[in-house]
Chain A
Amino acid sequence: MLSSVPQCFSAATARFLSRIVFAIGAGYRAKRVSSLHGVATAQAMVLLGSAFLFESHALSSDFERSMKPLVTRYCLDCHSGPDASGDIDFVSLTANSRDIAEDYRVWESVAKHLEAGTMPPDDSEQPNERERTQALAWYQAFVESVPARPAVLRPRRLSVMEYRNTMRSLLGFELQVAVTEAAQTESERSLAIKLLPTDVPGESGFTNATLGNPISLAAWEQYAYLADAALIELFSPHRRDALEAFTGERNGSLTQAHTMRLLRNFLPRAYRRPVSPVEFAGVRERLAGLQGEPLFLALKLELKSALVSPKFLYRGFLVEGERGARQRVDAFELAERLSFFLWADMPDQELFDAAADGSLLNQESFLKQVDRMLASHKSRRLADVFVRQWFSLDEIDVATDNPPIREAWKSQPLDFMHHLFTNDRPLIEMVDSQFAFANLYTAGIYGSDAKEVRKQKRTKGLEGEVFENMRIQLNDASERGGVLTMPGILAMNRGPILRGTWMLERILGEHLNDPPANVGQVAPNRRGENLTFRQRFEQHRTQEACSVCHNKIDPLGFVLQTFDEDGNYMLAANYRPKKQKKPTSDGVASDALDTSGRLPSGETFANIRELKEILATSQREAVIRNIVERTMAYALCRRLELFDQPTIAEITHRLNSETATWRDLIHDVTQSVPFQEMILSPANESRDRS
C-alpha cells in the first residue's frame, strides 16, 4: 500500500491550505482585470502551485546563492538572448520574477548535465567541483522540499475519443457513417470522430489533456449536430430497445410518465452523477401539462440541451467538495477518473452503483473494481488509445500505404501491450518477452516460431484480407521479443537516428531538444573511401553541440541496423532484400554492420539481444520510471508537475523489479495522491457579486 494513499487531513491542515489558496484567489482577481484570456488562469495555477512549493523562502535564496551564479558564469554564452541555444535562455530563467517550480524541467536537465559532465561542453570553461556540488545539492534539496500533492482541479472537455465512447455507452448504440466496407479501403465509421475537430496531443503528450484545446464554434456546431443525430436515431423504430432502456417497456406513444422516467434515467448517466431533486422539479415544471407532439418536442429539447451542456461535454464542473481546499475526490469523480483512464469511457452501471453507495471509497472494493474493469473488453482502449499515442503508432500509416500491412504492423504492439495489461504480465516484458503476436502478413519474420500462423488462409476472390494476430512462443526469433523489434515500430522509424531517438524518448523517457538547424547533411564517401554510414555519421557529429544527444541516441539506433526498412532481420537465414531497391546508403554487406555500442552510463553491448538485457537490468529503473510517468500523465489527463515527482519516485521504487506487473502499476497509479485527491480552486466571488 502506498504511504501516500489518501487519508483524511486534519482540520488544521485543511484550514492552512485553504488560507493559502484564498490568498492566491485574491491575487488572481487583481490580475484578471488586466489580462484578457488564458494567461490569467495559467498565472492562477502558477501562483497556486508556488504557494505550496515555496513555503520555505530559504530554498529560493539558496537558488540565488548556489545555482544562479553557476549558470550566469558558464552558460550564458550560448544560452541567452533571442537565439539562445535550445531555446534555453538563462537570463529570463533566472530573473527574480520567475517561478523556479514552473521551470523545474529545465533545472532537472541542468542537474543531469552537471552530473554527467555533458554540459558545459568540453571546449568551454568548466565549473569547479565546489560550484558543481553546490548546484547539485541545491537541486536535490529543491526537489526534496516539494511534497506530493494533487493538482488544482480544472474542468476539461472530453477528448473526441472519450466523447465518442461516452455517447455510445449512454445511448446504447454508436452513431455511424454509412459507407460500404471493402477490403484495403479505409473510412471513418464513427460519426463523432469524422465530424469533430481532431484533438491535438496536450502538454502531457496525450490527447486526453484537452486543456490547451478549448471548444471552438466549429466543434460546437458538430456537438449540436451529433446530439440531433443521436436523438433522431434514439427515437427511430429500430432503436426501440435503446429507448425502452430509458422509458421502460412501452406501448403506444410517450406519456408524461414515460418522459419523466426517461429523463430520470438519462440525465444522471449523461452527467455521470445524481441529479438534484431541485433540477428535476425544474424539468417537471417545463413538461407540465404537455402531451403528444408538444411533449415530444419539449422532451427532445431537454435531451439535446443535456447532450450539449457543459455538464456532459466536460468533466469536473459538478465535483463536490470544499472550495479552496485539498481533499479526497468524491466517489463519482473517482469513478470517472477510473473509467476514463481504463476505458476512455464513462462509468458503467456497476461502477456508478459503487460510487453511489460509497463502497468505491473503500480500498478493497476500489481494487476489486479496478480488476473488474481491467478484465472487461473495454480495457482494450488502454492499448488502442494510450499505447497508440505513447508509441506514436499512427506514424505506421506513413510507413506503408497498404492497409492490411498497416493493420498487421499496428495491431502487433497493441495486441501485445493489451496482453501485458490484462494478463498481469511483468512491466519489463515491454522491452523483452518470450512471446509475440503475428498474423499471416508478419509471420515471415518469426521463422519456425510462426508455423501455426502460416496456416491462416487467404480467401480466393478477396484481395487484401485482414487477419487476426495469433500469440506465438519465441524460440528461434528471440531477437523479436518486446516492442523494440516489432516490424511496424522499426518501419515507422527508418534509419538509426530516428530509431535511437524513439527508443530514448518513448522507452527510456528522455526529453530531447530539437537538433540545431545548421548541421548540414552527412557527407557522402569521397573517392576511394569506403566508410560505412555509421563511420561517416560519427565524423559528422563530433561537434560538441551534437554529441550531447547523439552519445545517447546513436548506440540505441545503430544496434537496430541489422533490421531493414520494413523491419526484416537482415541476419536471418531466409532474408531477402526487397526487389527494385537501391542499395542501402552503407553500400556494405549486412554482416559488416557494426551494431555494437556503449551507453553514456558505461554499459557495452554487441547486439540488440545484449541491449535488451541491459534495459531489463541495469537500465531497468529508467524504463520503469518512464512507464510510470507515461501512465500517470495519461491517467491524470495532464502534464506532470514537480509535485507529482515524489509519487513517481515512490511508485518507480516499488515497481523496479523483474516481477512487478502492469496490474501492480495500475493499482499504484489509481491509489496515488494525484489520482485520489484534488484541490478545488476558491469560489468565484466576483461572479457572485455581479
Chain B
Amino acid sequence: MKRTKMDRRALLRGVGGVMLPLPFLDLMASSSTAAAAETPPKRFMTLFKPNGVHPPSWNIEGGSEYDFRMSPLMKPFEKHKDDLLILDNMGDFGFSSHANSTRRFLSGHHAVKSSASVDQLIADQICGDTLHRSLELTTEGLFPNQFGCSYISYDKNGGAIPRASDPQLVFDRLFRNPLANPAEREAMGSVLDRVLEEARSLSRKAGIVDQRTLDEYLEVIRESEKQLQTMEQNDVTKGMDVAGFTRPGTGENLDEQVDIMLDLIVLALWTDSTRCITYMLGNSNSRLVFDFLGIKQQHHYLSHFFRNFSRQNLDSLLKISLWHMQKFDRLLTKLKAQAEGNGTLLDNTLVLYGSGMGHSDNHTATRIPTVLAGGKGMLKTGRYVRYAENQQLGRLHLALLQSFGVDTQKFGGSIDPLPGLRESDYQPYQERSFESWVKIEGTEITVQGRLRMSDDLNEAKIFYVDVQGRPSVRVEVNFRDFHDFNLAYHCGTGVTLTGDGLATGNQVAVTKVRQIQSIFGNSP
C-alpha cells in the first residue's frame, strides 16, 4: 500500500534481543484470583491457520485411535500428544472458496449468514460475568476483495466482528483501561481536575460564542467524572493487581508479534478477563510475506503449490506451515505452564486449532486439519479419531456447544452432534478392501487402486495409484486435469482412473486424465 510507512519495527530494533519470556507473565503467580477459585471456569480458545496445508505433510496415514504416528507437520506439537484429540475426515466439500471455508470454520456451513458463530454462542454461555465478553484477534488487515476471508467470528446477526491486531491495544483494553485499572482511574481523575481548571480559566477570557464550545467540552468532562465515580463503586477487577502488569512491546516482526499476542491470550484467560478468544494467524487466503523466515513470496501464492510448483516454493510453504504449528505448540505450552485449581489452565481451556480447507492448491474442504486440545472433562485426549465418512463441521460445532452447556439441538444445518469427542462412540474409518489392477490398451490406461500424492517433496505435483503386486502407476498431469478431476479430493481412497499414457515395461505413467470414478461412489 502506498501509505506513509513509519516503521515501528525499525524503531523497536535495538531494544535488545528477543522479547521472551515476557515479563508480564511472571506476575501471574501472585495475582490471579481465578487460580484460587474453587472450580475454575471453562474457556474456549480458537487458533486459525490460513491457506490449508500440503496434505501429505499434514495427514496421518494408517494408525488407529490410540496407536498412530504424528505427521511431519505435527512434529512441533508432538510433545503434547496426550493433550490432543486429532480429528480426521472433517469437512465434506469437494471444492471450497477461501471465503466459504472461512465462514464454515466456526459457523458450521457457509450458507449460515445471519446467525452467530460457535465461539460467540459459547461466549454468551460462559462469559456473562467477565469484564470482556470475548476477544477477536488477528495478524493481518482486511481483504476487501473477498471480505469473508478475514473473519471467523460472527455476531448474532451474522455480521463480521472486527478483529484487533495490536497486542498493546489489546493489553490496554484489558488491563490499562481506567474502567479496569484503579491506578489508571486515579490518574485519569487528576487529569480531569486539571483540564476542568484550565477550561474555567479559558472561560474567564472567552467570548459568548467561545463559551458555547467550551460548554460542550465541559459537559463531556463532567460525564467522564461521573463514569469514573460509578466504576469506583463497583470494582470489576476482582482484586487483581492489574496495575502491576507490564505492558508488552509490539514485536519486531510477525513472529514476535504473534508470540506476544499468544502470551497475552494466556494472560487474558488466566486472569479471567474473558473466557472466549479467537485468533487468526492470518486471513484464510493470507497474503503475508514471511520475510523473517527468509521467504519472499506471499503465503497464498506458495499455498498453490501445484500450479506454482518448484521445490523451493514447496519448502517455503512447509516452513510457513511448520511455523503455524510452532505457534500452536507455544499456546499449549503456555497454557500448560499455568497452574489452576488442581490442574493447569489448559485443562480448563478447550482449544480448537485448524484451517478452513485441506489441500491448499485445490481448496478441497475434506480432511481439513482439525485438532482439539485441553478441555478436561469435555474431551478425551491422547487420541486420533478418523471418522468413517467425511463430517460436516456443523456436527463438531454442535457437539462443542453442548459440551459448554448451550441448550441447542442444531447448528449450521447439523442436527447430530459429532460423536467421538469424549469416548469412542463413533464409527472409525476402515480401509475397505477392493481389487486393484491395470489395463493397458494402446495409449489408453485404466487403473484401479488407491490414489495418493507423492511423498517425495521433489515431485509434489505427482500422484500415484497403488496397485498390488506391481509398481504404482504414476499420474503426472497438467494443472487443468489436476483441477478439473479434483485429484486432491480422491486422495487416500480407491478410484478407477482412465487416461492416456505410456507403459514402459512394468512402469506405467498416465499423462492425461479422461475419467475418474470413486470405487465407493463418493464424488465431489
Contacts and interface: CB of A to CB of B under 8 A. Distances in A.
Contact of B213 (A154, A397, A460, A683): A154
Interface stretch (B53-61, B188-196, B464-472): B188-196
| Interface size, B (range) | 35 or more
A231 B478 CA distance: 59
Contacts of A154: 209-210, 212-213
A180 B257 contact: yes
Interface in B148-190: 150, 165-169, 172, 176, 187-188, 190
B492 to A, nearest CB: 30
B286 interface: yes
B139 interface: yes
A40 B209 CA distance: 9
B31 interface: no
Nearest to B13: A238
Contacts of B2: 407, 411, 466, 468
B298 A185 contact: no
Given A185-B141, A301-B190, A179 B166 contact: yes
A411 B3 CA distance: 11
A352 to B, nearest CB: 21
B8 A401 contact: no
Contact of A185 (B142, B213, B251): B142
A308 interface: yes
Given A176-B6, A185-B287, A310-B198, A238 B301 contact: no
A326 interface: no
A313 B202 CA distance: 13
Interface string A190-226: 0100000000000000000000001111011100110
Contact of A304 (B11, B165, B191, B224): B191
B10 to A, nearest CB: 9
A29 B209 CA distance: 11
A309 B212 contact: no
A680 B308 CA distance: 69
Given A179-B139, A180-B257, A687-B206, A214 B216 contact: yes
Contacts of A185: 140-144, 150, 283, 287
A181 B308 CA distance: 23
Given A44-B208, A217-B227, A317-B214, A181 B195 contact: no
A52 B418 CA distance: 80
A179 B302 contact: no
B288 interface: yes
A275 to B, nearest CB: 12
B210 A316 contact: yes
Given A687-B204, A688-B204, A45 B209 contact: yes
Contacts, number: 208
Interface string B238-264: 000000000100110010010000000
B425 interface: no
| Interface size, A (range) | 35 or more
A228 B1 CA distance: 28
A169 to B, nearest CB: 13
Interface string B297-310: 11011100000100
B287 A310 contact: no
Interface string B207-223: 11111111011001101
Most A Cβ at <10 Å: residue of B140, B203, B204, B207: B207
Contacts of A683: 205-208
A316 B145 CA distance: 43
Contacts of A407: 1-2
A680 B207 CA distance: 7
A536 B202 CA distance: 63
Interface in A1-36: 25, 28-29
A178 interface: yes
B18 interface: no
Contact of B202 (A153, A311, A462): A311
Given A44-B209, A183-B287, 5 more contacts: A185-B283, A229-B172, A463-B298, A466-B1, A683-B207
11 contacts: A28-B208, A29-B208, A41-B212, A157-B213, A174-B4, A186-B141, A215-B216, A304-B187, A460-B297, A462-B289, A463-B287
Counting from the closest, the 8 A-B pairs by CB-CB distance are A461-B297, A187-B141, A681-B207, A185-B141, A681-B209, A182-B287, A178-B250, A179-B165
Interface of B: 1-6, 8, 11-15, 139-147, 150, 165-169, 172, 176, 187-188, 190-191, 194-195, 198-199, 202-214, 216-217, 220-221, 223-224, 227, 247, 250-251, 254, 257, 282-283, 286-289, 296-298, 300-302, 308, 313
